[in-house]
Amino acid sequence: MLIVDPSLATPPYEQLKQQITDARTSGEFPANHRLPPVRHLAAELGLAPNTVARAYRELEASGVIETRGRAGSFVTGTTESTEKAAAAAARDYVALIRQLGLPATDAMRLVRGALDAQA
């Protein structure tokens, strides 16, 4: 959740930039996390849309987010956040495989087949 404290000396757009960067680093906002539209976030935080737009522009310039036209703005991945997401997916897969009663060799064969099909 993004919060802006008007009593701080730090400008609101800088507060937003820092919070989004920190959320990306911590994994709270994983790769491809869609950020709220500028106008929506501005209304939610009681800010001018130009303030949020400035934060988004500067985050995009630094590579923290990317804008995909009308689809919106999305957080870019870091190596660490990508690995955390992959590890979580692997744990979920292992839990499902165990629930289905498949042996590990079959599970690995299925993963290799899926990877080869995506290549």
Structure tokens at 8: 């701080």
Instruction: Write down the pTM of the prediction.
Output: 0.70
Kindly tell me the sign of the dihedral angle through the C-alpha atoms of 22, 24, 25, 27: positive
13-28: pLDDT as tens digits = 999 999 999 999 888 9
For the chain, which domains are there?
12-75 (1.10.10.10), 79-118 (no CATH)
d(Cα 52, Cα 62) in Å, to the nearest integer? Answer: 15
pLDDT tens digits, 33-88: 999 999 999 999 999 999 999 999 999 999 999 999 999 999 998 777 677 778 88
